[in-house]
Amino acid sequence: MYKDRIIHQKHQNLLLLLLLSLERRTEKKKKKKKKKKKKKKKKKKKKKKKKKKKKKKKKKKKKKKKKKKKKKKKKKKKKKKKKKKKKKKKKKKKKKKKKKKKKKKKKKKKKKKKKKKKKKKKKKKKKKKKKKKKKKKKKKKKKKKKKKKKKKKKKKKKKKKKKKKKKKKKKKKKKKKKKKKKKKKKKKKKKKKKKKKKKKKKKKKKKKKKKKKKKKKKKKKKKKKKKKKKKKKKKKKKKKKKKKKKKKKKKKKKKKKKKKKKKKKKKKKKKKKKKKKKKKKKKKKKKKKKKKKKKKKKKKKKKKKKKKKKKKKKKKKKKKKKKKKKKKKKKKKKKKKKKKKKKKKKKKKKKKKKKKKKKKKKKKKKKKKKKKKKKKKKKKKKKKKKKKKKKKKKKKKKKKKKKKKKKKKKKKKKKKKKKKKKKKKKKKKKKKKKKKKKKKKKKKKKKKKKKKKKKKKKKKKKKKKKKKKKKKKKKKKKKKKKKSLSSILMHNRWFYE
């Protein structure tokens, strides 16, 4: 009941304030409208006269001067003289010759300002209309008086203001929930909570959250003294621990900054060593040697030799395409990736026979792609020179680097002068023997594919016919008729006997 009365009183006070504010607004609006209408008319007349004169003179000046001086002044000063001519008619044409030179210096400065002022004047007109509306909104400041009246009601309840001071000391705890609890429990429940506080004073050492909710209601002076004694003991322990931790952290931060600078220098050295193992940088050094030899000879002869090499490669590939026409699947890359398509056909044949050994075959096929690329390069270089047996060993070094497959054309041009490295290429001759054994197995597997396709078609037709016949016999109503006729006939005989 007590809560309902307080809420009802607040609503009534708000309604009264709204009615008073509306009445005052209507009275003041009528007084100010009469006074402002007179002021507005005077201000607008002064501003409109100045702007109308400028606009009328612009139109008259353009018409008169276009007829007299069309070709002389439009080509030189199109934009500058349009604004200068506005003031020449005010001073009449008698003083044109003498004051042209003097006014040019002064009018150039004024032109820049006039362009800015014209844009601002248009905006000021809109702002003045908004300011007049804001004066009416200033009357709404009476809503702030409503807040002052609410504070007077709170002054009667001085218990609430003292409780807010305790919240500032506690910090980082929800204040919204505390305010709602104050209004609900005011007079009737005070006597019951005095007994509960005495029981929980012994448990204050374990939980601090329960203390804060119950201390808000009564006996403020006694609880403040107890809290201060407990906080002083805990602060002494914390200060000793913080001093030790701060010294350790400062030492660690200084060490980390020094280590980062050293690590950056080490990483750059490691990258240079790795590139030497891959032999990418050795090719760049050989390019420099070639440039020195080219200076002695003519550059035109070397360019013609490179074009002839590309034509011979295309003729060799046409002979190999006749064998691959039976196995066409994917032919996106024309020059070097055609041998990879043969390996893809091996995968499909082996999967039909052995399903358990699929994982072992996938790993071997990845290695075959690199080996077949070597055979194409061997045949192309034998026709050009007879001493290219040593160059076959150099092609094995490219296996480790051929992942991008776009840099193969550049490597072929550089292999003509790499005859010095023979020791590392002898280890890779064993891989060439394994490739010849795998090519013989491809021809045997082509004949087995045709027999398997015919057997699968016959089995599918037999299964479908058997299923349809069995289902129709089970679902017929013949069984039901036999049961019904036999039961009726037998029953009638025994009944009559």
pLDDT one-digit tens code per residue, 408-431: 555 555 555 555 655 555 555 555
pLDDT of residue 6: 83
Residues 6+ apart with CB under 8 A from 327: 341, 342, 345
pLDDT of residue 28: 73
Mean predicted confidence (pLDDT) in 182-206? 57
Would you say residue 144 has pLDDT above 60?
no
Would you say residue 7 has pLDDT above 80?
yes
Query: Over the chain, what is the mean pLDDT?
Result: 59
Would you say residue 120 has pLDDT above 70?
no
Would you say residue 434 has pLDDT above 60?
no
pLDDT of residue 491: 72
pLDDT of residue 35: 57
Confidence of residue 15 (pLDDT cuts 50, 70, 90): confident
CA distance 173 to 167: 8
**196-209 confidence digits (pLDDT tens):** 555 555 555 555 55
Global pTM value: 0.12
Would you say residue 31 has pLDDT above 60?
yes
Residues 6+ apart with CB under 8 A from 306: 413
**358-374 confidence digits (pLDDT tens):** 555 555 555 555 555 55
**Tokens (6 digits) for 377:** 């390069």
Residue found by looking up tokens 């064998």 in the block: 323
**309-352 confidence digits (pLDDT tens):** 555 555 555 555 555 555 556 656 556 555 555 555 555 555 55
Confidence of residue 238 (pLDDT cuts 50, 70, 90): low
**270-280 confidence digits (pLDDT tens):** 555 555 555 55
pLDDT of residue 44: 57
**438-466 confidence digits (pLDDT tens):** 555 555 555 555 555 555 555 555 555 55
pLDDT of residue 18: 87
Would you say residue 283 has pLDDT above 70?
no
Say if CB 411 and CB 398 are below 8 A apart: yes
What amino acid is encoded at 451 in this protein? K
pLDDT of residue 16: 87
Would you say residue 265 has pLDDT above 70?
no
pLDDT of residue 84: 59
Mean predicted confidence (pLDDT) in 2-28? 83
